[in-house]
Amino acid sequence: MRVHSPVLAEQFMNQNLSLNVELGARTYPIMIGTGLLRESGLLDPYVGGRDVLIVTNDQLVPLYLNPVEGLVTGSRVKTLVLPEGESAKTLNTLNLIFDALVQHRFGRDCVLVALGGGVIGDITGFAAATWQRGVDFIQIPTTLLAQVDSSVGGKTAVNHPGGKNLIGAFHQPLCVVSDMDTLNSLPERELGAGLAEVVKYGLLGDAEFFAWLEAEYPGLLQRDKERLQHVVRTSCEIKARIVAADEREQGQRALLNLGHTFGHAIERCAGYGTWLHGEAVAAGMCMAAAFSHRLGWLSTDELARTRHLLAHLQLPIDPPGVPPAEFLSAMSLDKKVIAGHIRLVLMRAIGQAEVTADYPEHDLVDFLSEQFVR
Ligand code: NAD
Ligand code: GLY
């Protein structure tokens, strides 16, 4: 690992706070810790004196721009402030990044730095993937969701009016810097949305981690730093392993979409922006668990544990009221639909998920009718 500051190098080695996403020559570290944004010159080994454009939003400027500027020394550093929110994740906003790169005459050797949540990370990553056919970028995720999911693995995108993340590319960052201190300022609802994605990792591949979450959730809600660091690290370990094995989602990476086909339909039917993505994923995972139970895959006890943990984390565990046919139609817009059949991530047990299209279609229709009759 390329760590510049001797203090940090020692901290990482002693406490083993960094882990790698192993992708051959494109292997990169995820640094996880506290006080990382105070480490002057932390990014110098990655930037190496090249021009830097920090891309962030208006909410994050007063909170973190100053320290992040200090992570790079000896480079020309410019900043671009984008509007906040999912509604800004568009081609028009992307163009603002290209305008800034043109204005500052940044060439193929520049480095983009994404400072923010998943929206800033996705759009900046896509700008980096496409500017002059691809330049380097660095992720500094500031939401829990971005630290455990969107900053890792190289999926970058903007939305199209026809759907979320329809225009995108795989483009891996040079490194990821996850500073737990940034979670202090995160609104409570956003913390919850991130915790939903954390539970996802337990459900899809790590029963022990799920049991740890059942025992330790009060500390997470109180933002205990050590526990948060543990969940970021464990989640990133699981995601890094899956991405290393299947970078382009030809197989097992689709497991990371547990709860997402139901969740995306909830987001769409409720009206984008009404539910946070993580909240929809929480209710979506409960639906995936309930459908798995209906098919005889998941035990009654494990279905109940799934719902209880998400409820304890103050997340929604039931979908909003929607006509079943409308919900099914929203589900069929999912990117995982192949030849008209909806592939789902279902659970055999807590910690054991599978991607499957092997279920009777009428079962899904009946299941949705039952879900929405309450
Ligand atoms: P977000 O980026 O919109 O951030 C949520 C809100 O929190 C914003 O208002 C933001 O300004 C604010 N914020 C961010 N950090 C803060 C901080 N430290 N303190 C105070 N406020 C802060 O939302 P998100 O949940 O981080 O990301 C959602 C996006 O991520 C979606 O667009 C989704 O499609 C994408 N995503 C991508 C992947 C991937 O693999 N690329 C995975 C999951 C989600
Ligand atoms: N968030 C799903 C993935 O990265 O594949």
DSSP 321: P
Domain range 6-185, CATH architecture:
3-Layer(aba) Sandwich (3.40)
Ligand nearest to the CA of 124: 1
Backbone φ, ψ for residue 54 (5° rounding): -90, 125
Give the residue among 282, 221, 237, 84 at the shortest CA–CA distance from 147: 237
* Residues involved in catalysis: 133, 155, 197, 239, 249, 253, 257, 260, 264, 277
pLDDT given for residue 3 in this prediction: 39
pLDDT digits (tens, 9 = 90+) for 332-368: 887 666 667 899 999 999 999 999 999 998 999 999 9
Indicate which residue's Cα is closest to atom 1 of ligand 1. 117
pLDDT tens digits, one per residue of 7-37? 454 554 445 579 999 999 999 999 999 999 9
User: What pLDDT sits at residue 98?
Assistant: 98
**Which sequence spans correspond to the domains of the chain?**
6-185, 188-371
CA separation for the pair 17, 52 (Å, rounded): 26
Measured in angstroms, how far is the CA atom of residue 73 from the centroid of ligand 2? 32
Q: Which residue has the higher pLDDT, 272 or 265?
A: 265
> What does the pLDDT average to over 147-176?
95
182 lines ligand 1 (CB under 6 A): yes
When pLDDT is cut at 50, 70 and 90, the band that residue 300 belongs to is very high
Both structure tokens of 44: 């110098």
Position 76 pLDDT exceeds 90: yes
- CA 162 and chain centroid, separation: 21
Q: Does residue 193's CB lie within 6 angstroms of at least one atom of ligand 1?
A: yes
6-185 and 188-371, same CATH topology: no
Residue 256 clears pLDDT 50, i.e. is over it: yes
H-helix or E-strand spanning residue 30: strand 28-33
- Given 3.40.50.1980, 1.20.1090.10, 1.10.3720.10, 1.10.240.10, which CATH number is that of 188-371? 1.20.1090.10
End-to-end CA distance of the chain: 54
Residue 205 has a pLDDT of 96
* Tally: H helices and E strands in the chain: 14, 13
